[in-house]
């Protein structure tokens, strides 16, 4: 088991954003969380880093209870987050952005890690000296993913990676998610508005509504579920 959340609650002041979340991610899986705006998907991911802190329940990562572990220590233990909106540093070059991802890694492995990123994302090698802000949205998303991978995480969290991208890049991002998993054995927790594509690449998925898991199943089961079809697939 890579990650398990057991009865996790979290609050923002008076807002009860997570209401008893049970989620599991096995080693080597792609698991997706789908749900409407405001359902609590980003909050669930952030709660793994203790922001907001779980007010009840337990989070176990890689065999250890991390519920009360400080944020910086969680990154060091092997969870990396690609936040919604990418948050690359636009005035820094592509390679400088990647270098920022190495803070938790062994410096001796730096060259190998950069070579790995360039092999995975050749466009980043071509553009390595260019300011990141001049890349297209899809290229910036690849850079954000590459930066997260520089820390050699065991679990990669992707928050809305396809949001706001041109269709050609949306396809490419889902391909990358699949390749990372199949070819590099990366375990991935994926939050997506694009439920259709997310459920197609995912081994399993959870539907989140008002801070609660209302449905869980394999990607195929959720794709076929009338509830999911009505709420997240048809016309969307």
Binding positions for ligand ATP, rule: CB under 6 A? 12, 15, 17, 35, 37-43
- Cβ-based nearer residue to ligand ATP, 102 or 209: 209
Minimum CB separation of residue 97 from ligand ATP in Å reads: 23
The residues near 126 (Cβ < 8 Å, ≥ 6 apart) are none
- Cβ-based nearer residue to ligand ATP, 164 or 185: 164
Alpha-carbon gap, residue 192 to 199, rounded angstroms: 9
- 22 pairs with which residues across the strands? none
- Cβ-based nearer residue to ligand ATP, 97 or 141: 141
Minimum CB separation of residue 42 from ligand ATP in Å reads: 3
- Cβ-based nearer residue to ligand ATP, 38 or 137: 38
Minimum CB separation of residue 37 from ligand ATP in Å reads: 4
In this structure, the chain runs to a length of 236
DSSP state of 98: H
- 31 pairs with which residues across the strands? 189, 204
Which of 33, 12, 30 lies closest to 21 in space, CA to CA? 33
- Cβ-based nearer residue to ligand ATP, 31 or 135: 31
Minimum CB separation of residue 213 from ligand ATP in Å reads: 12
Surface-to-core class of residue 112, CB atoms within 10 Å of its CB (0-12 exposed, 13-18 middle, 19+ buried): exposed
Minimum CB separation of residue 183 from ligand ATP in Å reads: 29
- Cβ-based nearer residue to ligand ATP, 52 or 78: 52
Q: Are 137 and 172 in contact (CB under 8 A)?
A: no
Minimum CB separation of residue 18 from ligand ATP in Å reads: 8
Alpha-carbon gap, residue 202 to 33, rounded angstroms: 10
- 11 pairs with which residues across the strands? 16
């Amino acid at each position: 088991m890579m990650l398990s959340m057991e009865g996790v609650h979290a609050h923002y002041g008076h807002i009860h954003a997570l209401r008893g979340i049970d989620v599991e991610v096995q080693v080597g899986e792609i698991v997706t969380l789908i749900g409407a705006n405001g359902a609590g998907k980003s909050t669930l991911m952030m709660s793994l880093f203790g922001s907001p802190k779980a007010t009840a329940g337990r989070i176990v990562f890689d065999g250890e209870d991390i519920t009360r572990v400080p944020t910086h220590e969680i990154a060091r233990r092997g969870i990396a987050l690609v936040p919604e909106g990418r948050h690359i540093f636009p005035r820094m070059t592509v390679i400088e952005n990647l270098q920022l991802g190495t803070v938790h890694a062994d410096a001796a492995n730096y060259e190998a890690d950069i070579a790995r990123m360039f092999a995975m994302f050749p466009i980043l090698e071509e553009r390595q000296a260019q300011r990141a802000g001049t890349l297209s949205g899809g290229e910036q998303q690849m850079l954000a993913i590459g930066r997260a991978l520089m820390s050699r995480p065991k679990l990669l969290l992707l928050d809305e990676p396809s949001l706001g991208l041109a269709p050609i890049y949306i396809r490419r991002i889902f391909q990358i998610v699949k390749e990372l998993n199949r070819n590099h054995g990366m375990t991935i927790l994926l939050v997506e508005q694009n439920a259709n594509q997310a459920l197609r690449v995912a081994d399993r998925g959870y539907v989140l509504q008002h801070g609660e898991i209302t449905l869980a199943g394999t990607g195929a089961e959720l794709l076929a579920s009338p509830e999911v079809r009505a709420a997240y697939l048809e016309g969307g």
